[in-house]
Amino acid sequence: SDQAGKNEIDPAALLRADAYVCDRRSQCEKLGELRAAMEAGLWRERQAVELGSVVTGSTQARKAETDITICDLTGTGAQDTAIATHAYSLARANGIGAKIMA
């Protein structure tokens, strides 16, 4: 989730997950599903893997195909920029969209 007090999944789901991946742990402790699980006393202290380390390959979140992974994204400017850049590239490559003059 992306707002304090907002929840998108049951906090108990974190207990059932084999891997927990977040964009920024410090941010997820304040805004994300991790916050709700901590407030409910359900978070077993274990490693929270940050998405950046998974993307770069320095950390592996899932150990097996059957692992349940929760990815808790509260949103960062870098993610927003990457998504917008990718969408723009796809639109240009496919000749769709409209150019807006500032």
pLDDT given at position 3: 67
Task: Tell me the CA distances in angstroms from 27 to 4, 34, 84, 85, 89, one per residue in order.
Answer: 10, 9, 22, 23, 29
Q: How many CB atoms lie within 10 A of CB 74?
A: 21
pLDDT along the chain (102 residues), means of 10: 75 89 86 86 80 88 91 79 87 89 81
Tally of domains within the chain = 1
Whether 67 is in a domain gets the answer: yes
Q: Which range marks the domain in which residue 21 is found? A: 13-93
Strands (E), 1-102: 19-22, 49-50, 69-72
- 57: domain CATH number is 3.40.50.720
Output the pTM of the full model: 0.67
What residues pair up with 21 in beta bridges, in sequence order? 49, 71
pLDDT given at position 27: 85
pLDDT given at position 38: 86
